Amino acid sequence: EAGVAQSPRYKIIEKRQSVAFWCNPISGHATLYWYQQILGQGPKLLIQFQNNGVVDDSQLPKDRFSAERLKGVDSTLKIQPAKLEDSAVYLCASILGSGGYNEQFFGPGTRLTVL
Amino acid sequence: AQKVTQAQTEISVVEKEDVTLDCVYETRDTTYYLFWYKQPPSGELVFLIRRNSFDEQNEISGRYSWNFQKSTSSFNFTITASQVVDSAVYFCALAEDYKLSFGAGTTVTVRA
């Protein structure tokens, strides 16, 4: 069974530029999460989708971050414009069904550096 | 407020020593789940264990064991006879209301 795929693995941009990350969850997993992991910290939830609907985006900085999951499968996370403090690893995770109490399967992450 | 506290930032041991990682959580819910994840240098978080709030039985899986105590809101993790491959960052996480909150992680370095 293929795992959660993410691309790119690394991205370096200058502040005020835009960037987009892509995630393809495990086949059949209805729920998808995006996390931000700043160096030295644990992952912090940004947004949760169930199929193509948003379940929770309360911690997403909506003035610059956006995410979509149009067909209920893969998802993109965008930052526009980027700030220095956005430097982090962006992790995508998926889960079978809707329950957040099940094991989440994580992708390898995209490491973003904002200069 | 921090929901999951991992007081140990870094632990360094010599191979074959035992390592215990502390995790203290805070919740008002009666139904919740606790997790441990491992993050090796490759960066991908790997699930280790899940425990629900109604099951306080300790668990052993190979060299790994977990001690869950609701009375002290703790869910500690022990690696017995550590190996170099155990070097990683270990995260404790609390799931309540279908959302995961992670601790800051403990970096474990096992030296040969």
**A43·B98 Cβ contact <8 A:** no
Interface of A with B in 83-102 (CB under 8 A): 89, 91, 93, 98-102
Q: What is the pLDDT of residue A54?
A: 92
CA–CA separation, A48 and A104 (whole Å):
12
Smallest Cβ–Cβ distance between A103 and the set B50, B102, B105 belongs to B50
List beta partners, residue B21: B77
CA–CA separation, B77 and A72 (whole Å):
36
pLDDT digits (tens, 9 = 90+) for A52-109: 899 999 999 999 999 999 888 999 999 999 999 999 999 999 998 766 688 899 999 9
CA–CA separation, A67 and A49 (whole Å):
9
Query: What is the distance in angstroms between the Cα of B73 and the nearest Cα belonging to chain A?
Result: 18
Smallest Cβ–Cβ distance between B33 and the set A42, A48, A101 belongs to A101
Per-residue pLDDT of chain B (112 residues; tens, 9 = 90+): 669 999 999 999 999 999 999 999 999 988 899 999 999 988 899 999 999 898 888 888 899 999 999 999 999 999 999 999 999 999 999 998 778 899 999 999 999 9
Neighboring chain B residues of A48 at a CB cutoff of 8 Å: 99
pLDDT digits (tens, 9 = 90+) for A26-59: 999 999 999 999 999 999 999 999 988 999 999 9
